[in-house]
A and B are shown apart, each in its own frame.
Chain A
Amino acid sequence: MALDGHVPGGPLAEKWDRHRFDLKLVNPANKRRHSVIVVGTGLAGASAAATLAELGYHVKSFCLQDSPRRAHSIAAQGGINAAKNYQNDGDSVFRLFYDTIKGGDYRAREANVYRLAQVSTSIIDQCAAQGVPFAREYGGTLANRSFGGAQVSRTFYARGQTGQQLLLGAYSALMRQVAAGGVEIFPRHEMLDLVVAEGRARGIVTRNLVTGKIRSWVADAVLLCTGGYGNAFYLSTNAKGSNVTATWRAHRRGALFANPCFTQIHPTCIPVSGSYQAKLTLMSESLRNDGRVWVPKQGGDARSAGAIPEADRDYYLERRYPSFGNLVPRDVASRAAKAVCDEGLGVGSGRAVYLDFADAIQRDGADTIRQKYGNLFQMYEEITGDDPYTTPMQIYPAVHYTMGGLWVDYNLMSNVPGLFVLGEANFSDHGANRLGASALMQGLADGYFVIPYTLGGYLAGAQLGGVDENHSSFEDTEKQARERISSLLAVDGSRTVDDFHRELGLLMWDHCGMARNAEGLTAARGRVRELRDDFWKNLTVTGSGGEFNQTLERAGRVADFMEFAETMIQDALTRDESCGGHFREEHQTEEGEARRDDEDFAHVAAWEFAGIGNNATLHKEELAFENVQLTQRSYK
């Protein structure tokens, strides 16, 4: 299959403008005749659904939660980037583009990233007009902060609740369109499959999570805005409901899955405290501005943190990275924490390092620290029972974000015509590593400012006649969805869904997590196959399909993770280089840093489904860098 990203011609800075002019328009009267399914109501889905309805399309919006406002985007804390350059500190569209490409370790498509940086400025305007209560300066202008090691202050924020406030903005726009009749919402509905008819994505099959009713829906186009797959690892910072089902099912129907092994591990999360652990909590990255990371120099040092003298402490980030110190990027900080714990120097459970504020408190006073981080300290104490003003925090890396996702072209359309993928669910903009505060930006860019144009371009030229709910594809897909539910219920074993999920997660974390190698990956692939077989033999799902049944919901999602995990491993194994969040131990510099192989791997790896248990087929989209110089990152 020839993979064409459909990147428009012309200079980088002019591509989007030219393309918008070249795209065919759907005339206003015709828009009313087109229907669109939007799955997901996070920043990507809510913004897309609202905006498309404003333009006149008929939109059906689906989500798992009881209200669209509760999508996982709500949990984002830190902020959203935009190249406004309000601080006059040297930011520009090109700089945001450059930082994103470089941060992604040169594994993203230049044209998409440039467009993202371009439209970022309009996002802030739109959100402010919606009433998003961004932080302000005394003069009434918008405040910014620098985030994730960026050298400019381009991050906009609303206390520690930026995701919530942006989502409430998009949700309010969505509710307005519901009231106006342009959008119908279907909360507590799960997409079980994609319907492809006559070569185009024409609908979905859903299960009503309250009644258990399975049915299909027809439309002229389908937008998947279903978020990331971090919960393949069971434990992650993602919401419990985050899953891979929608994108995986679309993949099984022909959509290519790109770079599935690119996952981001966040360095500052609260460590696992027991086998009952259900999810992990992120502590804001901003803590590294004042906290110092260390471990005891001697393994098994039984003294309390305060009793360990300076001479017996290893401030390993400051030691290894004298110029960036505690502020090295997420992937570097994460791997360093793993390395010291692997050496047996971890504290607490052995899988934790200290993040110590004692020096900052002595320097600035407890009040200043309280002003900056009071709510985070409180949250930490609530969860762990320890007071970070007197005892250093314990932190450990956790799975946080997935850069991989369904392959899309410049128009955000997958290789299946009519199937568009937005937000974290696609692979498009972050390469092998995402910068802090850029996921919110991408979700809203896709939904507010990209899809309204590119969807029109598709619909204006597509021959859509002759397909309705009675088309055999709908009947077949719906039947298969029912059969799958029945087979989950029929297993009749004794092991619970969560137990399987936990084992899969641990396996992935150990072998396809922060550091990977060929041997571990190969072994993990075998184990995943065994575990999947066991799942279909020994699973127990109580209750029936025709009722509210949370166990059944989870079983379906875990079944898909079991299939997906193998593709993730295959991708990690095939990408025989290190880049960004993908660290292959075989490929590191003498100092233990990731070593890229631009000659052989400056491409997007897009996988085609070839049946369960079979190797997926690889398609490459070569990445051309015409506007940036490929450099090796160094944080020494």
Chain B
Amino acid sequence: MSDVDITLKVWRQDGPDQKGRFETYQTQATPDMSFLEMLDVVNDSLEEGQKLPISFDSDCREGICGMCSLVINGVAHGPGEGTTTCQLYMRSFADGDTITIEPFRARSFPVIRDLVVDRSAFDDIVQAGGYNSVNTGSAPDANSVLVSKDRAEEAMDAAACIGCGACVATCKNASAMLFVSAKLKHLNVLPQGQPERRERSRAMLKAMDDAGFGHCTNEYECEAVCPKEISVGTIAFLNREVYRSSLVTSSLAPTVTGE
């Protein structure tokens, strides 16, 4: 396969309170290049011309750290299914394509610069209860608590969430329900997570509201962009958790009474 000519329309924004704009760049890419390597090359030439390069986040570049983001042609993490932006390769694009690149936009994810956003609201949610309260040293022998294979797999499916925020960026309500339900399900289905199950659900949902994330209205766009293919069934799990423990939270059915 030969090189492709690409036109990029990239969101540039100098700082959180500055107005942003799209800028256009022309570049050539090899099909074997990753999407982020394509941006590296663009940046290298910008720097050579003493122009400010495009800021974007990445670290592992293999789809596991959740650092990369980007909305590519309107889709969080771009066209690939079940992949992050860093796992996207230029062979997915054709010669002459125009690619629009924007940051993950959401009320709770303010832009820091260009394509870089602040996702620390996710840390705030986890602080509210995304843990089992076991101090180091106090754990019993690992095999003293049996966990069925199915249970462990179920927990693992949910725990695969990399906290990237694509679900939020794609949701028209900027809801964090897929992220929060994945986190909750991971711990709530395991025997080790039982003692704090109710309080965890309550506290994390409240923290989600407090951080300004929107409500879930079952649009299911999140599932489609999630690089770890966390299913919306996870949100259904969370809804059942809420029902079970009769929690009050404004994100969900407002009818139940507190305890």
Contact = CB atoms under 8 A, between A and B. Distances in A.
Interface of A: 47, 50-51, 54, 65-70, 72, 74-75, 84, 86, 122, 124-131, 133-142, 158-159, 161, 163-165, 168, 171-173, 175-176, 178-179, 185, 187, 210, 239-241, 273-274, 276-279, 281, 379, 382-385, 448-449, 452, 494, 496-499, 540, 542-543, 547-548, 550-551
A67 B122 contact: yes
A488 to B, nearest CB: 13
Nearest to B117: A66
Interface stretch (B33-41, B169-177, B236-244, B247-255): B33-41
Contacts of A178: 123, 127
Contact of A540 (B48, B57, B190): B48
Interface of B: 15, 30-34, 36-38, 40-41, 44, 46-48, 50-53, 55, 57-62, 64-67, 80, 83, 87, 89, 91, 112-113, 116, 118-120, 122-123, 126-128, 130-143, 145-149, 151-153, 155-156, 159-160, 162-163, 186-187, 190, 192-193
Contact of B118 (A66, A158, A179, A379): A66
A421 B89 CA distance: 38
B74 to A, nearest CB: 21
A240 B148 contact: no
B133 A176 contact: yes
B139 A75 contact: no
Given A164-B162, A278-B37, A385-B31, 20 more contacts: A69-B123, A70-B59, A75-B60, A75-B64, A133-B152, A133-B159, A136-B149, A137-B149, A158-B156, A159-B160, A161-B160, A176-B131, A239-B59, A276-B30, A276-B37, A276-B41, A281-B62, A382-B83, A385-B91, A448-B137
Contacts of B15: 547-548
A474 B161 CA distance: 41
Contacts of A449: 136-137
B122 A239 contact: no
Contacts of B116: 548
Contacts of A379: 62, 87
Given A278-B40, A496-B47, A542-B51, A74 B61 contact: no
A494 B48 contact: yes
B152 A496 contact: no
A69 B163 CA distance: 9
Contacts of A452: 136
Contacts of A129: 132, 134, 138-140, 142, 145, 192
Contacts of B67: 65-66, 70
Contact of B59 (A141, A168, A240, A496): A240
Contact of B47 (A70, A126, A384, A540): A540
B193 A133 contact: no
Contacts of B31: 385
A277 B32 CA distance: 9
A498 B142 contact: no
Contacts of B147: 136, 140
Given A69-B66, A548-B113, A548-B116, A131 B60 contact: no
A542 B53 contact: yes
B225 to A, nearest CB: 17
Given A65-B65, A141-B146, A448-B136, A542 B44 contact: no
Given A128-B192, A239-B60, A278-B37, A542 B47 contact: yes
A66 B156 contact: no
A69 B127 CA distance: 12
Contacts of A448: 136-137
A175 B127 contact: yes
Contacts of B118: 66, 210
A276 B33 contact: yes
Contacts of A138: 148-149
B127 A131 contact: no
B108 to A, nearest CB: 13
Given A136-B148, A175-B131, A86 B143 contact: yes
B224 to A, nearest CB: 18
B32 A385 contact: yes
Nearest to B80: A382
A72 to B, nearest CB: 7
Contact of A274 (B30, B57, B83): B30
Contacts of A547: 15, 113
Nearest to A179: B127
12 contacts: A50-B136, A66-B57, A66-B118, A129-B140, A131-B193, A140-B146, A172-B130, A172-B131, A497-B47, A540-B47, A542-B52, A547-B113
A84 B144 CA distance: 13
A172 B132 contact: yes
